[in-house]
Amino acid sequence: MHRSFRSALNSGHRAERAWVDDVRAAGRSVAHGKKVVIQKHNKNTDHCESPDAVGLFSLEIKERSISFTSPEDYPYDTVFVDDMRGLERETLQHLAYVYRSKPTGAWVWLTPLDRDDRWVVKEVFDRGRGHIVPTLVAPKDCLRPAEALLSFLYPHGYLEWVDGESGLFVEGGGEIEIRKRHVEKTDPTPRGRGRKAARKNDKHVG
């Protein structure tokens, strides 16, 4: 006997909540999608945009003084990915490295998910620092067009389906904070300007 649509939906929602709880327990940043039940749902014609969950990923942005508008006209056969000394100290991998052309404003990107034996470490002279830096280098054909990354980034119009605050992804931020030394932040509570840290017994839903 087939399960009803409502029964299958409830089971799916339980699985989604369990996955989000598991990932949060592992110390990673994910949010619930809103659990919406359409009472008169037509599975053949209706589609709800609510995601099962939304994840937060890190992106590294690098500006280049060279001129390009796409992966095809990137002027070199290889791409400098990252300084190995800093990369080896990082505990978090960036999902994407974005390369923005200062002359054109266009950008392309690559992802470490494509890393293979063609990605090599080379000694590169850094003109800005004035010394040689061990650098991870990738082949040019790993570059992807901007549109490919945009197609994965969450649209503003869909933020209403995130179960929780999401305004930061529309506007705000970008300020420079000056600290005397680096301090690891372990409290996951989001804070804005003038916003106090939440008490430990505060509950956050969504």
**Which runs of consecutive H residues, i.e. helices, occur in the chain?**
5-25, 84-87, 146-150
Using alpha carbons, list the distances in angstroms from residue 143 to 45, 95, 151: 37, 13, 15
Percent of the chain clearing pLDDT 90 (strictly above)? 63
Q: How confident is the model at residue 197 (pLDDT cuts 50, 70, 90)?
A: very low
Q: What is the pLDDT of residue 87?
A: 85
Q: What is the pLDDT of residue 125?
A: 84
3-state secondary structure labels for all residues of 67-79: CCCCCCCCCCCEE
Work out the average pLDDT over 109-138. Answer: 92
16-73 pLDDT, tens digit each: 999 999 999 999 999 999 987 666 656 666 666 789 999 999 999 999 999 999 999 9
Q: What is the pLDDT of residue 12?
A: 81
pLDDT over 90 at 9, yes or no: no
Strand partners, 82: 136
pLDDT over 70 at 5, yes or no: no
pTM of structure: 0.80
Q: How confident is the model at residue 191 (pLDDT cuts 50, 70, 90)?
A: low
pLDDT over 80 at 3, yes or no: no
pLDDT over 60 at 203, yes or no: no
Work out the average pLDDT over 171-199. Answer: 69
| CB crowding 84-111: b at 16 or more within 10 Å, else e | beebeeeeeebbbbbbbbeeeeebbbbb
Selected residue with higher pLDDT from 3 and 37 = 37
